[in-house]
């Protein structure tokens, strides 16, 4: 039998510079938000702090080492600080290997200036949408403004993807959300994030396994019908992951120990879903932990383990 030390040597969580292994960097530019989403694990609202420019530049310097990198710009609501989005994009233009940039937003505060920056810097857009209009208003608020944001993206021919927090409140209406976005030619896909019951998310319930299976299968079937009428298909992220990944590949960057999330204060966490959870704290930008082995353990979920069923 191999020793525990030998097994540890094979783990992706072996001790090393926490920045050196990062392939997916989540930068929380602000903890403020203009909405009060019922599923927000960060409990974001109009109060909070923005990331200092010096801290932002220090973070970017740490990851500019010639590797392939994906940087997700998020919050709170990052479009509250458009100047910081533009600053991040400007700095990364000079990276040895220019990173892939993406912006996660509720879409309510888009402006012509910000859209121009998104186009100029090739920033991918993820838009938070949890259901058809009445349900979106109930779960997140600001539905009219979000729909206007989607229309603006469409008018400017900016591709975007939908990110949906799945809970018992919307699992039976995911297919109706797909019908809502079907008319947007620039909508490229839908990704599903299961509710994390922290922060305001404790006020919502998780769907049962049976309801989750039925809801996702109905969503997938609806997307297939929609795609028969579209020139560019809408992709369901989870289906794409399952069909693309090999058995030796972890389901996500977090499961492989290659993601890192940074709060506006400079605190470090393994991924966006562990933000501000003290159980997963990984130090700070100034004093990072050298390993997160004791935070996440060995990767357990491989893409092929989930199975495709009838999706």
What pLDDT, in 10s, does the model give residues 137-181? Answer: 999 999 999 999 999 999 999 999 999 999 999 999 999 999 999
Q: CATH for 17-306, among 3.40.50.1470, 1.10.10.10, 3.20.20.70, 3.40.470.10?
A: 3.20.20.70
Predicted model pTM: 0.87
pLDDT single digits (tens) 249-306: 566 676 677 899 999 999 999 999 999 999 899 999 999 886 554 455 444 544 444 4
Spans of all domains in the chain: 17-306
pLDDT category of residue 18 using cuts at 50, 70 and 90? confident
Q: What is the pLDDT of residue 240?
A: 86
pLDDT single digits (tens) 187-226: 999 999 999 999 999 999 999 999 999 999 999 999 999 9
Long-range contacts: 32-36, Cβ < 8 Å, 24+? 32/75, 32/76, 32/77, 32/80, 33/75, 33/76, 33/77, 33/80, 33/106, 34/77, 34/80, 34/106, 34/108, 34/109, 34/142, 35/77, 35/106, 35/108, 35/140, 35/141, 35/142, 36/141, 36/200
Cα separation, 276 vs 291, whole angstroms: 18
Cα separation, 264 vs 78, whole angstroms: 11
Strands 235-236 and 187-194 turn out to be parallel
Joined together, the tokens standing for residue 285 give 């930008």
pLDDT category of residue 245 using cuts at 50, 70 and 90? low
Joined together, the tokens standing for residue 214 give 């039925």
């Amino acid at each position: 039998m191999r020793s525990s030390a030998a097994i540890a040597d094979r783990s992706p969580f072996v001790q090393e510079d926490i920045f050196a292994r990062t392939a997916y960097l989540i930068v929380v530019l602000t903890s403020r938000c203009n909405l009060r989403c019922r599923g927000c694990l960060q409990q974001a609202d109009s109060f909070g702090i923005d990331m200092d420019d010096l801290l932002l530049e220090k973070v970017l310097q740490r990851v500019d080492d010639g590797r392939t990198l994906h940087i997700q710009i998020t919050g709170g609501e990052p479009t509250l600080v458009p100047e910081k989005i533009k600053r991040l994009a400007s700095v990364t233009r000079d990276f040895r290997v220019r990173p892939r940039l993406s912006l996660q937003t509720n879409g309510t505060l888009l402006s012509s200036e910000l859209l121009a920056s998104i186009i100029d810097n090739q920033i991918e857009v993820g838009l938070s949408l949890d259901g058809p209009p009445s349900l979106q208003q109930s779960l997140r608020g600001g539905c009219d403004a979000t729909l206007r944001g989607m229309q603006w993206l469409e008018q400017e021919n900016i591709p975007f993807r939908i990110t949906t927090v799945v809970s018992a409140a919307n699992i039976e209406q995911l297919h109706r959300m797909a019908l809502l976005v079907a008319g947007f030619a620039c909508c490229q896909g839908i990704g599903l994030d299961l509710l994390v019951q922290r922060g305001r998310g404790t006020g919502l319930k998780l769907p049962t396994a049976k309801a989750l299976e039925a809801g996702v299968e109905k969503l997938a079937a609806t997307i297939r019908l929609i795609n028969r009428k579209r020139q560019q298909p809408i992709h369901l992220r989870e289906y794409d992951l399952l069909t693309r990944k090999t058995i030796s590949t972890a389901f996500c960057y977090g499961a492989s120990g290659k993601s890192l999330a940074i709060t506006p204060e400079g605190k470090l966490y393994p991924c966006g879903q562990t933000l501000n959870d003290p159980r997963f704290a990984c130090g700070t930008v100034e004093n990072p932990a050298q390993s997160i082995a004791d935070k996440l353990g060995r990767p357990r979920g491989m893409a092929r383990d989930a199975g495709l069923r009838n999706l």
